[in-house]
Structure 1
Amino acid sequence: MKNLFKNSKLPVKIWQYRDIFLQPTEFIARNGKSVYISEDFHRKISRIVFILTDGKITISDYMYNVPKQYFHDFGEDIKALHIEKQKTIL
């Protein structure tokens, strides 16, 4: 999976966005946890999902794909910050 966000100087290509974020997943919403998002984000995500994919994916699919890519892109940084935080002061 390509790192779309980190160290990117070129705009993300449309096909990259589709291939990463607008794909169905095996995730079943009722097996997950509830999270709250603003009405504005919900409206925007709903439009992205239903208009750009002709209803072929769900909001849950999209909301699964976004953090999946985020953790792929920033996982090593998160691990490094965690290790740094765990160091003793003395």
Structure 2
Amino acid sequence: MSKNRKNPRHKEQKDLYAFLFLINRFPSGRNGKVVYIRPEYHERLLRIVQLTRDEKATLYAYIDNILELHFREYGDDITDYFNKRFKPIL
């Protein structure tokens, strides 16, 4: 494929990424909890969110969307991991 032509699949993946992560599903993070993340990750996340000024994504919404997908994708694995290590007491 020529370097001058855009790959349509690549554009679809970018659009999917924005749809999955760079959208505000909740109005505010005010009811959430404080968490600490590495300074370098915080800087990266802020830079990504700042690129979405038109969509008005917030850092809270971005992190929430990442976690939502993580738990949806790995929920069964997390449950299996937990159940293998914590057997019922009775």
TM-score (ref. length: structure 2): 0.74
User: Whole-Å Cα distance in 2 between the matches of residues 86 and 63 of structure 1?
Assistant: 28
Unpaired stretches in structure 2, ≥5 consecutive residues: 1-9
Q: CA RMSD in A?
A: 2.1
Q: What amino acid sits opposite 1:80 in the alignment?
A: D
* Residues 1:54 and 2:53 are matched in the alignment: yes
- The alignment partner of 1:29 has SS state of coil
User: Whole-Å Cα distance in 2 between the matches of residues 84 and 77 of structure 1?
Assistant: 11
Larger radius of gyration: 2
Identity %: 31
Superimposed CA distance per residue, residues 7-66 of structure 1 (whole angstroms, 9 cap, x where no aligned partner): xxxx89212211111111215222110001121111111110011x12511101101111
User: Whole-Å Cα distance in 2 between the matches of residues 58 and 19 of structure 1?
Assistant: 14
User: Whole-Å Cα distance in 2 between the matches of residues 35 and 27 of structure 1?
Assistant: 19
Give yes or no for contact 1:23–1:57 (8 Å, CA) kept in 2.
Answer: yes
Runs of 4+ in 1 over 3 A off after TM superposition: none
Give yes or no for contact 1:24–1:61 (8 Å, CA) kept in 2.
Answer: yes
* Residues 1:83 and 2:80 are matched in the alignment: no
User: Aligned residue for 2:43?
Assistant: 43
Unpaired stretches in structure 1, ≥5 consecutive residues: 1-10
State the number of aligned residues: 77
